[in-house]
Structure 1
Amino acid sequence: MNLQTEVRGKVVRFKDACRRLAEYDDDDYEGEECYAPSFLSLWNYELNSLIGSKVPILDKLSALHVATDIETFAANVVFEERKDGSKRVLSAEAVVLVFPLRSDDGASYDIQPAWNAGIAGAIDGAVLEVFHYSNRSFDDEVGRLVSGDIPLFAVGMCIITLFIALTLGAPTSLHRSRVLLGVMAIVNVLLAVGGGFGIASAIGIRFASIAALLPLILLGVQVDSVIILVDNLDAQSDAEPLDERIGKSLSKSGPAILVTALTTISAFATSTTTTMPAVAMFASFAALSFTVALPVVFTFFLALLVLDERRLKAGRISFAPCVRAHDARADEPAPADAVPGGALPATKRARSNKASDLRNIGRVQCFIRDVYAPTLLSPPVSALVALAFVALVVLSALSVPFIKVGQPSEEVLPDDSYVIPALGIEKATFGGVRGGAQIVLRGENYDNERTRDAYRRTRRGVLDLDFVKAAPPDWLNQYERWRESEGIELADGPFLARLHDFLGEIGSTIFQDDLVCDRDNSCKHPSDSRLSAVLLTGTGDQIEQIGLRTRLEAVLQREGFDTGFVFSEGFLNAESDVAIWTLTWTNMVYALAVIFGIMLLFNPLPIAVWITVCVAFIDLDLLGVLWAVDLKLNAVSYVNLVMAVGLSVDYSVHLAHAFHESHAGALADAAPGEVVSTRDSAVYALTTMGASVIKGGFTTVLGVLVVAFASSVAFRTFFTLISFTVLLGLLHGMVLLPILLTYCTVPPASRRLIGESQRVASTASSKGESV
């Protein structure tokens, strides 16, 4: 095949991109065919030689088996035992061809798609089934994954846009619905994403494929803030001026929105320093996007909310603000049913923490106030629920040693990728995936015969390892053969004196990649050299390759090459897998510490402690989820664990803020000696904020729901963990935290009032008075 393609306006042949090493199998070889470390060396890699060979192919394969292990290139070989003890090859289930490519220019990389298509099309599919992949295949398939799922993500945006447009107001009313405001809430998110991505790109942060999910994540989180802001505004009396209603709404929801934004940004910011580049890139894009989102919601969306309130008061249609609804009155008050999150305290006292004082509440709030909260906060139920949460955390902690680590290559590829069956066949037939390793020797003097002997022993030692299946020709062996062919003796001068001439010979230039020569390019004293090996990496799990690297390094150390090292692309991911537990615990602790600090700035110490405890419980529970649903700890799940610290705190912060505000306000306005109950404050917080929190959690899941139908395991794993994060966040915020606030939180002011109440009661009792 004479494959060629156009690369940057220049026609490039595949022969120009591959390594042509076959001439070393035959000194008289003058062709240009690409070298492939396989049994094709028996025919000098020429198709005509193969077709015209007078020796039967199987006999030649049998001869090859005498010289080397034929199972290096063929799988499930069937042999016939001969009388003389030798073996004859009868058949094989599969054969493998490996084509090394040049690395000194982009041609070898750019031509790979044409080569993959050409080799697949050149073979009769009715006779042979061809599976193929190259280094570029992974890059192309991951790119196809992201671009292919963009329409799916767009559908997700449309779904959540429709949901928020219909639920921000009364969906059955033309003028009391908030359709246009809901649509603009999505524009608010797009502005944040555009700003964050733009800043990240401007400062040189590379885009990670998993960052494609950020718009959906940001959408779900930002919609929470929008819902809280709108519901708090709806809870204000229509009789008050608009500016006062906006001010009161911001005073109630603004601090919680600010705190949740700061905690989310901080959680991502702590991960930007991780040693895993993909995670650091994702965290950088996320931190910048959430940072931009904060001022956008308090400026752009707030301005839109004011305009929408004016439209509402004027009785105009929500999706056509220039048209007045025929059945609307400009001064019409909002009915209770139109205020899904509305909850106004009556005027028994200036500030009340009793849910019974609330008016204009919907059916959900009534259920929470009259049924859910009293049941949850009864002492027996609270004790059982608290024990259940503790038991869940303990079980999750016990499951940690059983969590598997690793990121199989197949999981980051589209389900229909041609690479997945190729990897599967390679594992099934050859017992593992093949990979290349570069063994680099540094600062060695090859003019010394002892060094050359150690090099030869190293190469033999590497080939003797059970997982090393082959090694291409090396520069030292070929240089010695060239010296012999040129009649150069050891007494003729330093051994490396003619190395520069050898590397300039036709067919030998390929070895220039294996040496780091002097600055003058004489190569009389190369500083570094390398030899290559083809590895069989077992099941393909990256973490297993660390053991292979250790055994290769042991060969180097045995021969005294203490400064040498072994490199393979697979080792990069393996290093991440080895370090991922340390990175996970470190970043979780850092994020929790930052969150605790932020909580202390806005809340009393007990509330800050219990919010942090809830977030810590959620992260531990997520580790239990990994074990329960048989997911591995890898870059994708690591990102979710770090992100959970920022996302899950939202649900707790809103409830805690409502609790603290109602309790502190009631304490300040209480009569002397009056006891303000933390239980009443917890019921009040659940009633006023519970429905909004639940709705916000639902919108987050709805925003990422389409990811469940994504075309890769990695993206679907992301959806699974995000969904569990929201579920656990809601459970801890709506169930555990109210219990902790009720029974384990007594602010100092409350203790003084309780003490004052007891003192007054004691005094009254001594005087014979009734209190």
Structure 2
Amino acid sequence: MAFDCIDKIVRLCFFNYGGFIARHPIPFLLVPLLVAGALGAGMLFLTEEQSVENLFTPENGQAKTDRNAVETLFAEHGDNDTLVSRLTRLGRAGSVIIRHKDGQNILTQAAMDDILDLHEQIMSTSIKHENKNYTFSDLCVKWNGVCNENPILAAYDYNSSKVPSTTLTFPLYTSPADNTVTYFLGGGLAGVSFVSGSQDDVLSAEVIKLSYFLRYEDSVEDQQSALWEEKFLEVAEAFTSSVITVTREVSSTLESELDKASSSVVKDFSITFTIVITFSICSCVMLDWVRSKPWLAACGVLSAGLAVLSSFGLMSYIGVPYINVVGSAPFLILGIGVDDMFIMLAAWRQTDVRWPVELRMRHAFSEAAMSITITSVTDSLAFGIGAITFFRSVRIFCMYTGVAVIFAYAYQITFFGACMVLTGRREAANRHCMSCLKVRPKNESKSTAYTIFCAGGSPHQPRVREGGDTNDHALMLFFKNYYGPFITRWWVVILTILLFLGYLGTAIYGCTQVREGLTLRNLARDDSYAAHFLDDESQFFTTYGLQVSLVFTEPIDVWNPVVQDLMEETLAEMEENEYAYGKDQNLTVSWLRDYLEFLQTIGLSNPTQTQFVDILRENFLKIPAYQKYSLDVVFSDNGTTVAATRFFVTTKDLDSTDKERFMMTDMREIAENSELPAIAYHPAFIFFDQYIAILPNTLQNMFIAVGAMFIVALLMIPNPICSLIVTLSVASIVTGVVGFMTLWQVNLDSIAMTNLILCIGFSVDFSAHITYAYIAANTGRRRSNVIYALFSLGMPIVQGSLSTILGVVVLAFTDSYIFRTFFKTMFLVISLGALHGLLFLPVMFLLTIPVKSR
């Protein structure tokens, strides 16, 4: 048959290779250890990266392109002479959210006393950099030489005694001392209740938010601001009050959280390693002390550990940084390595105990090699395809894990193969599995104690059937004598079909409920200070959202009324959007509207271009109340035209990732449809871009991966129908994982995308193993082929599933969303993969795949 040519070639190669390694095991034992040691030394050069923006946002995101355009157009101001609302990056900052301890009104004199005390402590906080002290005033973002203020404190003139006598209006408050000064309180005051009969007079409020923005324009400023952020956290944490409670955050908080989560998982891996090695040893212990293989099981786990060490070392040598998500890779590789080990041991058990070690190795390798080769190739392909994504975190994870899969395969057929040879020699010499001392077979045992603790192996006068029945593990016999015959009964087949339809229907329903996007809250550990702050922020500060800029990017004739109408038309359309406040709310920032009113007051209703530009530049923008608008207008080099300009619209009620996504796409669409060249931008769009990029990236990778799996299966499984069934099984498992993952409250984000890539690889493992065993059975009857496949590989599938779940179960109890998501995905992949491999596929074989006549 044309489809079995590669299968025959691979089997023949491994048949010969098994014999070679049986004759020369020591080099295959030592060389992998030396290679792993040399590569592992590369971890001395390991570097880490925690930048949330670089790792978890799409590299080709439109917001990054738009940001470059905005920063190029408005470069002259930077962060040293600007307003916070004009910053093009989220930048360096520290924030506190303050609540009354009893949940009462925060706008009391007693509460404000403590708030101002905290504010003074923050303002006086100093850091030392290069033998010089710096306070917030030295490092803050300034406008006209003064640090940007917190509006709520400025509204009370930094005087708590004014709280009882001052009636704030919300969200805009005009200073009674200077009616040209208006404070926007929407970003700093929340949980507001109004005086009865009023729509804007504040009666009480639940929380106050104070923010302190720092400069970061060059590396020196960034270092200084980073140091100040650390001191800020210390001050906010140490602050005590009998009236208020404080939650805190700085710009580097999430990066710090990623680092802490990554560090904590090291401890979890040590626990996992112990659990898996214990399970593997117990799984390989039998009542026969010669046939038991505890040390071989330990070597199988060690082989996976060497793969992790080699991968991490090699990546460090070539400069690929370690990131938080990579912390889950060792758990994955441990599962893959142990799964392959059980496949190899199952093949060894199928050989005749009377054969010499070399012949047993030849047959074991030729039997198992194709199965583990298929899974290793497909796993590597899955991670290789995943590495082409635009999400840097996913790409780095796939690089680390893909290389580790290759090393795991290499060490499996070298280091572990050599360990198999040495174990086989011990068995052939009838030596005890623990002490390696020669022992008697059970029928020659001299005492009960000797039978229990020492005896084992083949009788000296063997009475063994061909094929070595003494090798059959109790679980193998269960699949052969009970489980296999049971699931091939006609009524069980019908029930299985109904179960599959129910499973698929539930999975598809879950897929229709997918939620896209990684919320920043999910990067914080559950009970961390960051989590508390972000919870408060999402609860209280979504009513008044972002100030999205509408940027006209090219020189336009702003003086022309027709052009003014076009600009106003675009701005008005943004204001009328369901996610924005309208013109009547007075929250839009438009220099043009104020300028046209100004022209009316001076009696100039129809200025020429020269008049329009000259008065704008020389008069209007120099009036203190309008000076802020100089940040929004860029003049041409000769000063005769407006080269670029921008306006700001305030968004509202962005209390979900869906609303954030829809708002961003709506604003962009409005700007793109404008008759003038325009873009819509806000620094948060950098993160919102993932909401629209994650689904197409995930689907692209999954379709390519599944297609690649089909080609590999077609080439390596000697039956085209089986290749198609393996591919459909992979698609079914992936559908199930996505659907049930959604129902298990996991979003489709870059973390889940990483896990779905490994899902494809693991899906192939279960499907390919059982399918290949079915084809290789060649009994002449479908039912017999199914039972033989379950007899041969049912036990390693169960062992591999349990060991992998045990390998990640500790992550279910971590305080990190990233690693809990990894556990949930792995649990679903393994559970659904085992369900397909042990139930759905065998029934499918009964119904669809013909077998050769013997």
- TM exceeds 0.5? yes
TM-score (norm 1): 0.77
1:634 to 702, 725, 749: 749
What is the one-letter code of the residue matched to 1:138? L
Matched, 1:372 2:486: no
Q: What is the CA distance between 1:65 and its match in structure 2?
A: 3.0
Matched, 1:94 2:207: yes
- Partners of 2:795 and 2:588 lie apart in 1 by 67
- Partners of 1:530 and 1:316 lie apart in 2 by 83
Q: Show the counterpart of 1:382.
A: 493
- Partners of 1:545 and 1:580 lie apart in 2 by 14
Residues 79 and 87, structure 1, Cα contact 8 Å, conserved in 2:
yes
- Partners of 1:137 and 1:661 lie apart in 2 by 56
Q: Which has the higher contact order (CA 8 A, sep 6+)?
A: 2
- Equivalent runs, 1:5-154 vs 2, <5 Å: 5-6=127-128, 12-21=134-143, 23=144, 32=146, 34-42=147-155, 47=158, 50=159, 58-59=166-167, 65-66=173-174, 70-80=185-195, 89-106=202-219, 107-108=221-222, 110-111=226-227, 113-114=229-230, 116-117=232-233, 120-121=236-237, 124-154=240-270
What is the one-letter code of the residue matched to 2:484? A
Q: What is the CA distance between 1:693 and its match in structure 2?
A: 1.5
- Equivalent runs, 1:561-710 vs 2, <5 Å: 561-569=676-684, 571-602=685-716, 603-663=718-778, 676-710=780-814
What is the one-letter code of the residue matched to 1:410? R
Matched, 1:715 2:819: yes
Q: Show the counterpart of 2:310.
A: 195
Say which SS state the counterpart of residue 99 (structure 1) adopts.
strand
Change (3 A) 1:739 1:81: closer
Change (3 A) 1:530 1:278: farther
1:157 to 266, 269, 273: 273
- Partners of 2:455 and 2:483 lie apart in 1 by 21
- Partners of 2:131 and 2:465 lie apart in 1 by 76
Q: What is the CA distance between 1:200 and its match in structure 2?
A: 4.0
Q: Show the counterpart of 2:101.
A: none
Residues 393 and 621, structure 1, Cα contact 8 Å, conserved in 2:
yes
Change (3 A) 1:746 1:5: same
Say which SS state the counterpart of residue 95 (structure 1) adopts.
strand
Change (3 A) 1:324 1:74: closer
Q: What is the CA distance between 1:56 and its match in structure 2?
A: 5.9
CA offsets per residue over residues 48-76 of structure 1, 9 Å max, x none?
xx3687x9662466896355664453223
CA offsets per residue over residues 647-706 of structure 1, 9 Å max, x none?
02212222222222221xx5xxxxxxxxx2232222112112211221111111111111
CA offsets per residue over residues 576-634 of structure 1, 9 Å max, x none?
33344444443333222211111111221122122222222212222331354343333
- Partners of 2:699 and 2:486 lie apart in 1 by 37
- Partners of 1:534 and 1:101 lie apart in 2 by 23
Say which SS state the counterpart of residue 416 (structure 1) adopts.
coil
Matched, 1:742 2:846: yes
- Equivalent runs, 1:356-435 vs 2, <5 Å: 360-432=471-543, 434-435=545-546
Change (3 A) 1:499 1:152: farther
Residues 559 and 612, structure 2, Cα contact 8 Å, conserved in 1:
no
- Partners of 2:635 and 2:320 lie apart in 1 by 34
Say which SS state the counterpart of residue 212 (structure 2) adopts.
coil
- Partners of 2:821 and 2:752 lie apart in 1 by 8
Residues 550 and 647, structure 2, Cα contact 8 Å, conserved in 1:
yes
Q: Show the counterpart of 1:673.
A: none
- Equivalent runs, 1:463-474 vs 2, <5 Å: 467=580
More moved, 542-551 vs 213-222: 542-551
More moved, 380-389 vs 458-467: 458-467
Change (3 A) 1:121 1:374: closer
What is the one-letter code of the residue matched to 1:650? D
Residues 496 and 525, structure 1, Cα contact 8 Å, conserved in 2:
no
Say which SS state the counterpart of residue 681 (structure 2) adopts.
strand
1:2 to 119, 124, 127: 124
Residues 382 and 761, structure 2, Cα contact 8 Å, conserved in 1:
yes
- Partners of 1:163 and 1:626 lie apart in 2 by 27
Residues 126 and 228, structure 2, Cα contact 8 Å, conserved in 1:
no
- Equivalent runs, 1:201-280 vs 2, <5 Å: 201-202=316-317, 205-280=320-395
More moved, 178-187 vs 57-66: 57-66
Say which SS state the counterpart of residue 747 (structure 2) adopts.
coil
More moved, 184-193 vs 437-446: 437-446
Q: Number of paired residues?
A: 696
Residues 186 and 544, structure 2, Cα contact 8 Å, conserved in 1:
no
Change (3 A) 1:425 1:296: same
More moved, 594-603 vs 407-416: 407-416
Say which SS state the counterpart of residue 249 (structure 2) adopts.
coil
TM-score (norm 2): 0.70
Q: Show the counterpart of 1:757.
A: none
Change (3 A) 1:177 1:376: closer
- Equivalent runs, 1:475-494 vs 2, <5 Å: none
What is the one-letter code of the residue matched to 1:614? S
Change (3 A) 1:190 1:12: farther
Change (3 A) 1:336 1:649: farther
Residues 436 and 568, structure 1, Cα contact 8 Å, conserved in 2:
no
Q: What is the CA distance between 1:211 and its match in structure 2?
A: 2.0
Change (3 A) 1:295 1:677: same
Say which SS state the counterpart of residue 211 (structure 2) adopts.
coil
What is the one-letter code of the residue matched to 1:156? T
Matched, 1:729 2:729: no
More moved, 152-161 vs 404-413: 404-413
- Partners of 2:707 and 2:535 lie apart in 1 by 44
More moved, 64-73 vs 560-569: 64-73
State percent identity of aligned pairs: 22
Q: What is the CA distance between 1:309 and its match in structure 2?
A: 3.5
Q: What is the CA distance between 1:345 and its match in structure 2?
A: 9.9
Residues 284 and 292, structure 2, Cα contact 8 Å, conserved in 1:
yes
Say which SS state the counterpart of residue 414 (structure 2) adopts.
helix
Change (3 A) 1:10 1:595: farther
More moved, 446-455 vs 720-729: 446-455
- Partners of 1:134 and 1:517 lie apart in 2 by 35
Q: Show the counterpart of 1:671.
A: none
What is the one-letter code of the residue matched to 2:276? I
Change (3 A) 1:213 1:474: farther
CA offsets per residue over residues 74-109 of structure 1, 9 Å max, x none?
223344469xx8975443222222334334134355
Residues 257 and 524, structure 2, Cα contact 8 Å, conserved in 1:
yes
What is the one-letter code of the residue matched to 2:841? L
Change (3 A) 1:435 1:279: farther
Say which SS state the counterpart of residue 248 (structure 2) adopts.
coil
Change (3 A) 1:574 1:324: same
Change (3 A) 1:81 1:160: closer
Q: What is the CA distance between 1:426 and its match in structure 2?
A: 2.7
2:437 to 321, 325, 330: 325
Q: What is the CA distance between 1:509 and its match in structure 2?
A: 13
Residues 349 and 472, structure 2, Cα contact 8 Å, conserved in 1:
no
What is the one-letter code of the residue matched to 2:148? Y
